[in-house]
Structure 1
Amino acid sequence: MRYSRVPEDATLPAVVERDERETRLEDLRGREKAHSREGDAIAAERRRLPMVEVDASLELVGPQGTTTLLEAFDGRRQLLAYFAMWHTGSPASEQCPGCTWCMAHLGELSYLHSRDITVAVLAQGPYDEGRRYRDFMGWSVPWYSALPSLDRLLVGRARGMMHLVSYVRCRDRVFETYWTTRRGVEVLDSSYRLMDLTVWGRQERHEDSPDGWPQGWHNVDGEHVLCHDGRPIAQWARVESGCDDSLTG
């Protein structure tokens, strides 16, 4: 079996009557509501950040060859670009598990499109390899290589990191309005958010959990918590269904 099971004898919370549990839950609910309100306030401040202009003609490589940042908007007013890390020349199994985790959640985009937002991957590697990886994973998110313009697109930011950048278009001019990295890109993910609602959480060693909670997902000799048996977790279903994971022609 590719995926781990929580042991049957794993520690569980105390068992109480429903009324007692609901009282504790109501106390927690107050903190959750405060957390939501603070998130709303932060989002309101984010909308008020000043922006900087970016050269709209910066080159990308896409399915039709050389294109531009402006064309990546696909006619919409806003663009959310995920700058995927890339290990050029490496096989699919050695590509970034964190970026695979993020991009695997970019499925249904119509809700974003309805608000005039395009989502695209601007990979930090060659287009042909990245396109094969996208096809192997069965993704439909628009994919480009940002290699020709990385130094100007990621100004002042370390290349190779996970970056999510928000742009807005005003006719033929492009402006950067926000960017985030590391845990900030968890906004792309739903799996972790759902794990956080379960009794054992993410089952990772960094979490503040009671003694005895299963926390077997951690880094060992460089193995990422988003890998299993030497591959990013999302790849196993594709491999086992017979999909070709070769990234070189």
Structure 2
Amino acid sequence: MSDNKYSFPEIVSREEWTAERKELLKEEKEFTRQRDRLSAKRRKLPMVKIEKEYEFEGPDGKVSLLDLFEDRMQLIVYHFMFDPDWEEGCPSCSAWADQIARGHLNHLHARSTTLALVSRAPLAKISVFKKRMRWEIPWYSSYGSDFNYDFHVTQNESVKPVMYNYRDKATLEHLGQHYHIEGEQPGISCFLRIGDTVYHTYSTYGRGGEQVGGAHYFLDMTALGRQEDWEEPEGRATGLGAPAGSDKILYPDEYDGH
């Protein structure tokens, strides 16, 4: 591998490095406190009662949104992009899911929280792909349901006005985000149950889902970062990584050493 196309960090003495690291630590600690304050505000958000009866299909047949909780108090839904016309799920969604779908969800379950994937693809396609990926995480089909449209992770103007990340079509076009105007979109939604009543407490879209899953935040601690074109310093890892949407993002079973 040639090193001359990369822009590596400056080489300094241990003393100089330690001095700069201590300065950065001050900002990291403030960022942690700010993140804690933001999380507290998130917990204080009001909630909306779910009035509609959504129907999903799982391995054991038809289920309701309440069933997805698996008798726990909270439900986190990862809106996995898998269009009914596709034969495979989204590679980026697959990369995210693979970081947790092979592991144990015991720590979530111990806190009365269930994590599940929901896609608009029919269950038959989901089942084939899930088996190929060797995932154990619960995964349901919302095919034929309004669920994806109501939570703004499938954009189709003939069904519902465009709305993604709390922005309407005109705003998205103004921002140059035409890729969010049609089709399947990424997102995470959280629900709370009180008895048999379900409430929607939170949804995040786009890069909002990066804070869970793992790899991105591990990479943020490294000198080469995520190796995305938008990162600073410019040219740090040109052409090295696998940017979002890139054909370098492989399905989990396609990597060497799988």
Structure 1 length-normalised TM: 0.83
Preserved CA contact (<8 Å) 2:79 2:153:
no
Indicate whether 1:13 and 2:9 are aligned: yes
Preserved CA contact (<8 Å) 1:126 1:145:
yes
The one-letter code sitting in structure 1 at the alignment partner of 2:217 is R
Are residues 86 and 14 of structure 1, via their aligned partners in 2, closer, same or farther at CA, if it must alter by over 3 Å? Answer: same
Are residues 58 and 233 of structure 1, via their aligned partners in 2, closer, same or farther at CA, if it must alter by over 3 Å? Answer: closer
What's the counterpart of residue 200 of structure 1?
A: 224
Matches of 2:216 and 2:11 in 1, distance apart? 26
1:33 to 14, 29, 36: 29
Preserved CA contact (<8 Å) 2:83 2:119:
no
Indicate whether 1:215 and 2:238 are aligned: yes
Residues 31-70 of structure 1: matches in 2 within 5 Å? Answer: 31-55=27-51, 57-70=53-66
Indicate whether 1:127 and 2:127 are aligned: no
* Percentage identity across paired residues of the two chains: 28
| Gaps in structure 1 of 5+ consecutive residues | 1-5, 242-249
Preserved CA contact (<8 Å) 1:57 1:70:
no
Between 1 and 2, higher relative CO (CA 8 Å, sep ≥ 6) is seen in: 1
Q: Where has structure 1 moved over 6 Å in runs of 4 or more?
A: none
Preserved CA contact (<8 Å) 1:56 1:174:
no
**Structure 1 residue 197, shift from structure 2 partner:** 1.1
Residues 52-91 of structure 1: matches in 2 within 5 Å? Answer: 52-55=48-51, 57-91=53-87
Secondary structure class of the residue paired with 1:148: coil
What's the counterpart of residue 224 of structure 1?
A: 245
- Measured on the aligned residues, the alpha-carbon RMSD in Å equals 2.2
| Gaps in structure 2 of 5+ consecutive residues | 155-183
Preserved CA contact (<8 Å) 2:75 2:116:
yes
What's the counterpart of residue 245 of structure 1?
A: none
- State the number of aligned residues: 225
Preserved CA contact (<8 Å) 2:76 2:115:
yes
Preserved CA contact (<8 Å) 1:124 1:145:
yes
Structure 2 length-normalised TM: 0.80
Matches of 1:210 and 1:89 in 2, distance apart? 38
Secondary structure class of the residue paired with 2:135: coil
